[in-house]
Amino acid sequence: MTTFADLGLRGEILRALEDLGYREPTPIQAAVVPIALAGRDVLAAAQTGTGKTAGFALPLIELLAAHASTSTSPARHPIRALILAPTRELAIQVEESVRAYCKHLPLRSLVVYGGVNIDTQIPVLRSGVEILVATPGRLLDHVQNKTLNLSQVGMLVLDEADRMLDMGFMPDLRRIIGLLPAARQNMMFSATFPEEIRRLADSFLKNPERVEVARRNAAAETVTQVVHPVHHERKRALLVHLVKSRDLRQVLVFTGTKLMANRLANELNRAGLQAGAIHGDKTQQERIKALDAFKHGEVRILVATDVAARGLDIEALPYVVNYDLPHNAEDYVHRIGRTGRAGARGEAISLVSEAENRYLEDIEKLLKTQLVKQPVADFSGRADELAGYVAAPSASAAPVAPAAPRPRAPKQIAALFLPPAGSGRR
């Protein structure tokens, strides 16, 4: 069994990992750390929740430790490593991890992102930091304002590179890469690995070592996936029913739009279920407050859009619900990657209307598997909506209680009732 000490990490880092309760490296960490310590460029594909943040942060810190200084002079703390992340939430969490790994070393780190006053970030930058975590837009804001110097950056990390492409950051990425010294080490990490990533990699990685510890675009084996067919007008009622009847706690619910996220959170609160919402129109303070309330159990359900939830790291998150199926099948993998992390079990529940069958087919094609379909009595809609579904029981299923009886139309056909199927290191 490989240990962190076997990877060639110094004692100060090992102490920090012990403080965090890390016992042994995950496959992505065991594969990437030795390659990065050898100075090679890395192109890594790994499932969300496999520990890829430590995969790039640990060797980065090990290599920078030789430059660690207790001096208060800013000149002794130039930016030597740049980590780019697509969203504020992910950038914050990456920097938190970096800071924790540097606990016993005099290395400084900082995270900069938009949505907050840029003036609050400038004093820390001017005092000097070796490791800078940033979103592309805010980094370029600082470049334009001449509030940072990238001339000594020797390491570049792109985290969640596929999402940066999806969010339209390609021009920003190319501009940032052009601002950096040519002599540097590069690492690119991505939860999924579309062909576009290969083209971006070819443009700046130098003979990279390719690492792939999970099948491309695969769902984690620790996540039980189940589909509940439902008429679109009955989705909210079914979600309320599932949460109440199964007493679900810490449920992350994905919607397709910001408007729906707000509306659903309000409707769930009216139904007596404490819910919050995060999306791009929320201020950073509102998003942090909602996320903290969810983590601490003050709200039972967190409703989110894909962009807002990207990078959320909630330890042992048990449930993810696709209230609206994503139009992009790869986003489904990102979503359910919030649960089932680091060997813990998780459940991904999808509420699928007839109009979403085409998206479900795309997801199943990507995953190369048929997802379990389990109609819930009184919520599956018309009988013809179920024509294409074949229900299958799951050995690990937890029973779904039937809804309270309601009057049926004379010709209404009762839906088949079956029980449904039934988390990590950064």
For the record, the structure tokens of 89 come out as 């939430």
Residue type at 317? L
Q: Is the pLDDT of residue 413 over 80?
A: no
The answer to whether residue 69 scores a pLDDT higher than 70 is yes
Q: Give 144-171 pLDDT, tens digit per residue.
A: 999 999 999 999 999 988 888 877 888 8
Tally of CB atoms within 10 A around 389 = 18
Q: If DSSP states are collapsed to H, E and C, what string results for the chain? A: CCCCHHHCCCHHHHHHHHHHCCCCCCHHHHHHHHHHHCCCCEEEECCCCCCHHHHHHHHHHHHHHHHCCCCCCHHHCCCCEEEECCCHHHHHHHHHHHHHHCCCCCCCEEEECCCCCHHHCHHHHHHCCCEEEECHHHHHHHHHHCCCCCCCCCEEEECCHHHHHHCCCHHHHHHHHHHCCCCCEEEEEECCCCHHHHHHHHHHCCCCEEEECCCCCCCCCCEEEEEEECCHHHHHHHHHHHHHHHCCCCEEEECCCHHHHHHHHHHHHHCCCCEEEECCCCCHHHHHHHHHHHHCCCCCEEEECHHHHCCCCCCCCCEEEECCCCCCHHHHHHHHCCCCHHHCCEEEEEEECHHHHHHHHHHHHHHCCCCEECCCCCCCCCHHHHCCCCECCCCCCCCCCCCCCCCCCCCCCCCCCCCCCCCCCC
Ramachandran quadrant class, 360 (left: phi over 0; alpha: psi -120 to 50; beta: rest): alpha
- For residue 218, pLDDT over 60 is answered with yes
What integer pLDDT is reported at residue 409 of this predicted model? 40
Mean pLDDT computed over every residue of the chain:
85
Here the tokens at position 62 are 């090990």
pTM of the model: 0.69
Q: Flag whether pLDDT at 394 surpasses 50.
A: no
- Per-residue pLDDT band at 311 (split at 50, 70, 90): low
Least confident of 91-95, 175-179, 218-222, 294-298: 218-222
Pairing of strands 209-212, 155-158: unpaired
Return the pLDDT at 423: 37
pLDDT for the residue numbered 192: 67
User: In which band, very low, low, confident or very high, does the pLDDT at 254 lie, cut at 50, 70 and 90?
Assistant: very high
pLDDT digits (tens, 9 = 90+) for 328-372: 888 898 888 888 876 678 999 999 999 999 999 999 999 999 999
Amino acid identity, position 261: A
Of 290, 313, 297, 273, give the one whose Cα is nearest residue 425.
313
373-393 mean pLDDT? 58
CA-to-CA distance for 413 and 408, rounded, in angstroms? 9
As to burial, measured by CB atoms within 10 angstroms (0-12 exposed, 13-18 middle, 19+ buried), residue 223 is buried
pLDDT at residue 217 is higher than 90: no
d(CA 337, CA 146): 38
Which domains, and CATH codes, for the chain?
A: 5-212 (3.40.50.300), 223-386 (3.40.50.300)
Instruction: Look at residue 257 and tell me whether its pLDDT is greater than 50.
Output: yes
